[in-house]
Chain A
Amino acid sequence: MTTSARARRERRTGLAFISPWIVGFVVFTAWPILYSGYLSLTDYDVLTDPAFVGLENYERMAADPQVRLALWNTLQYAVVQVPLYVLVSLALALLLHQAGRASGFFRTAFFVPKMTPPVAVGVLLLLLFNGQYGLVNEALAAVGVDGPSWTTDPAWVKPGLALVSLWSVGTAVVILLAALQDVPAELYDAARVDGAGWWRRTRTVTLPMISGALFFVTVVNTIAAFQMFTEAYSAYFGAGTSSYSNDAALFYVIYLFREGFAELHMGYASALAWLLFVVIMLVTAVQLLVSRRLVYYEGEQR
């Protein structure tokens, strides 16, 4: 049959085109996931072969105060940073949406900081949030507020990092603005005819219509927040910064990185990676479940 011959050829060609991804998936995704599962059950320092130790790494993890500290730091950061980030990007997008022709110019202003390498963001954090001379506290002083020691007071390290992360909202703003521009104008007109004010229109028309994009931004940013590394590492860790305590900035991935690549505890670090994987999956699953009730997708049954 020519049709089945054609189908077979189409299948062969299609698979040939996607074969780079299949190879990459097996080598750089599937195998690493399985192998890190195995490594998490071993004692491995790269120099000698992995030695099977059963669940020892997991038992050690449960008793490791640093793990608890790192998890707690990360959780605290995520709980503050994610809602703040989503709200600020939404607020900026709503403002841009009202700005008419000027919105392109402002959109650029909000996006440019996103291009800054996170290492340099760490530098800016140390300088602008400096408790004594920093620009942020200088601005706060101008309005009569005595700013905290953002970079040295353990209570203010995470809020400082969360605030600095807002500097990179550019991508989220662009995504949300695009979603806002997709909302059909008739919906607003209808709401206006019904006498709905700005707040009611936003709550009953805008937010439901962009809930898909809001959900996307929330999920992606939550996963990123749980993997916070570069800005904190750049500012508070590294070869030179052993002179003062940086416990408040010990995020989970920083601890994992140090265990794996500074201490060469590859087995333990793999166990740490698995715990993070499970935590992130659980959080994402909860977000998915909640979103079923809150997110409206076009084309769905109304």
Chain B
Amino acid sequence: MRGRRTVRVVVVAALTVLAVVFVYPLVWLVSASFKPRAEIFDNRLLPRTPTLENYLTVWDAAPLGLWLANTLVVTALAATTVTLSSALVAWGFAHYRFRGRGPLFGLVLATMMLPGAVTLIPTYLIWHQLGFVGTTVPLWAGNLFGSAFYIFLLRQFFLGLPREPFEAARLDGASEWALFWRIAVPLCRPALVLAFLFEAQASWTDLMRPLVYLQDTATFTVPRGLKAVIDQFGPGGESQWEVVVTASVITTVPMILLFFAGQRYFVQGIATTGSKG
């Protein structure tokens, strides 16, 4: 048994080194945001002369408050709509038996594999036609129709529910909607939270769609705004790295908070997708 203990010590030591490598860039970024420009590249863990100057500069240089508010609205709408619509669809696939259900669900799975680049241009033209280019609507409204990944995920959870409570409620005269909304949804709350958190992360961090749909700085999300900050203050612009670094921290911190708020959902949820997928 001594051999096994040695193995564990080696494993934990290796993991400790690797964990430092993984977490350090984030620590570096946050630390750099409190350094004056000349010290950004000194790569010290703690700023020699800590300053809040960069936060004041960046707040003046870019409408970050507005961008954060825009992103919060888009993220909330995107996550809420996709959770509700995907739950409806997942319930339809999980609870009801009808001809064509298998092939239709196969189609749902197939769309998961479809590269987004293929539908990028026609989708843009749809929103253009509807007059929504230039607004944040295209960033979330597509979520009203469910999304394959969440449909798949929620269906797994719904399939795990026993059928008896539903049959009993039906005999008591409950409507089909009530079965879904009053029994299935409350029973699968953790899965719904999970879908909400996943989509919140995807929506908050997205750059491509804001690049495609938003033109006016006043409508920008934070990642789109950060890209504008990089263009202005980054390597091709004024080389004021402290501004870029600080804007990056402001873009990232909400996601770190989201992770720690929903940590157990994230990790358990991903574990489920892998083993069932």
A interface residues, Cβ below 8 angstroms from B: 7, 10-11, 13-25, 27-29, 31-33, 35-36, 39, 46, 92, 95-96, 98-100, 102, 106-113, 115-120, 122-124, 126-128, 130, 133-135, 138, 167, 171, 174-179, 182, 213, 216-217, 219, 223, 226-227, 229-230, 233-234, 238-244, 253, 256-257, 260-261, 266, 269-270, 273-274, 276-277, 280, 284
Q: Assess whether A11 is in contact with B99, with CB atoms less than 8 Å apart.
A: yes
Q: Are A10 and B121 touching (Cβ within 8 A)? A: no
Of the candidates A13, A19, A21, A273, the one whose C-beta lies within 8 Å of that of B176 is A13
Which of B46-54, B55-63, B122-130, B185-193 faces chain A?
A: B122-130
Q: Report whether B114 and A29 are in contact in the complex, using a CB–CB cutoff of 8 Å.
A: yes
Q: Is the CB of A116 within 8 A of B26?
A: yes
Q: Are B122 and A119 in contact (CB under 8 A)?
A: no
A8 to chain B, nearest CB (A): 9
Given contacts A18-B89, A20-B85, contact A257 B208 (CB under 8 A): yes
Closest approach, in angstroms, between the C-beta of A220 and any C-beta of chain B? 9
B108, A21: Cβ atoms closer than 8 Å: yes
Q: Are B207 and A117 in contact (CB under 8 A)?
A: yes
Determine the chain A residues whose CB is within 8 A of the CB of B232 once the complex forms. 239-240
- What chain A residues lie within 8 Å of B211 (beta carbons)? 233, 257, 261
Q: Which residue of A lies closest to B40 (CB)?
A: A127
Report yes or no: A21 in contact with B146, Cβ–Cβ below 8 A.
yes
List residues of B (13-43) whose CB comes within 8 Å of A's CBs.
14-16, 18-19, 22-23, 25-26, 28-29, 32, 40-41, 43
User: Interface residue count for B (Cβ, 8 Å)?
Assistant: 96
Contact call A95/B88, Cβ cutoff below 8 A: no
B residues near A (Cβ < 8 Å) are 7-8, 11-12, 14-16, 18-19, 22-23, 25-26, 28-29, 32, 40-41, 43, 85, 88-89, 91-93, 95-99, 101, 104, 107-108, 111, 113-126, 128, 142, 144-146, 151, 176, 180, 201, 204-205, 207-208, 211-212, 222-223, 226-228, 230-232, 234-237, 241, 244-245, 248, 251-252, 255-256, 258-259, 263, 266-267, 270-275, 277
**Considering only CB atoms, which chain B residue lies closest to A239 in the complex?**
B231
Option from B11, B25, B125, B267 in Cβ contact (under 8 Å) with A174: B267
CB <8 Å contact, B256 and A16: no
Chain A residue, CB-CB nearest to B273? A175
Cβ-defined partner of A122 (8 Å) among B201, B228, B230: B230
Residue of A nearest to B24 (CB): A135
Expressed in whole angstroms, the minimum distance between the Cβ of B172 and any Cβ of chain A is: 17
A29-B119, A112-B259, A230-B207 are known contacts. Are A120 and B226 too (CB-CB below 8 A)? yes
Q: How far is the CB of B248 from chain A (nearest CB, A)?
A: 4
Are A20's CB and B88's CB within 8 A? yes
Name the contact of B8 in the complex, choosing from A100, A133, A234 (C-beta under 8 A): A100
- Chain B residues whose CB sits within 8 angstroms of the CB of A266 once the complex forms: 121, 125
**CB-contact partner of A273 in B120, B201, B255, under 8 A:** B120
Query: Whole-angstrom distance between the alpha carbons of A92 and B14 in the complex?
Result: 10
Q: How far is the CA of A112 from the CA of B101 in the complex (A)?
A: 38
Contacts of B201 in A (CB 8 A): 115
Cβ–Cβ contact B122 & A32, under 8 A: yes
Known: A14-B97, A234-B227, A234-B230. A127 touches B241 (CB 8 A): yes
B185 to chain A, nearest CB (A): 12
Main SS at interface, chain B = helix
User: Other CB < 8 Å A-B pairs besides A115-B252, A277-B118, 6 of them?
Assistant: A17-B89, A108-B263, A112-B26, A175-B270, A175-B271, A234-B227
Collect the chain A residues with CB atoms within 8 Å of residue B142's CB. 24, 28
Q: 28 A-B Cβ contacts within 8 A?
A: A18-B88, A18-B104, A27-B145, A31-B122, A32-B119, A33-B118, A92-B18, A100-B8, A112-B26, A113-B23, A113-B26, A119-B223, A123-B234, A123-B244, A133-B41, A174-B270, A174-B274, A213-B274, A213-B275, A230-B208, A234-B207, A234-B227, A239-B228, A240-B232, A257-B211, A257-B212, A261-B211, A273-B120
Cβ of A189 to closest chain B Cβ, rounded Å:
14
Q: In the complex, what's the smallest C-beta–C-beta distance from B24 to chain A, in angstroms?
A: 8
Q: Are B115 and A223 in contact (CB under 8 A)?
A: yes
Are B207 and A99 closer than 8 Å at their CB atoms?
no
Closest Cβ neighbor of A256 among chain B residues? B117
- Cα A91 to Cα B128 with chains together (Å): 46
A24 to B145, CA, bound (A): 5
Contacts of B176 in A (CB 8 A): 13
A93 vs B31: C-alpha distance in the bound complex, in angstroms? 29
Q: A117-B204, A117-B226, A241-B235 are in contact. Are A96 and B15 (CB under 8 A)?
A: yes
B275 CB contact (under 8 Å) in A25, A178, A270, A273 = A178
Q: Most chain-B Cβ atoms within 10 A of its Cβ — which of A20, A126, A239?
A: A20
Of the listed residues A29, A171, A179, the one surrounded by the most CB atoms of chain B closer than 10 A to its CB is A29
Task: Report the bound CA distance from A194 to B266 in whole Å.
Answer: 39
Residue of chain A at shortest CB distance from B274:
A175
Docked Cα-Cα span, A256 to B115, in Å, equals 13
Question: Which of A16, A167, A223 touches B113 (beta carbons < 8 Å)?
Answer: A223
Q: Is the CB of A171 within 8 A of B270?
A: yes
**A257 CA to B23 CA in the complex, in Å?**
32
Contact A241 B252 (CB under 8 A): no
Q: Which residues of A contact B116 (CB under 8 A)?
A: 227
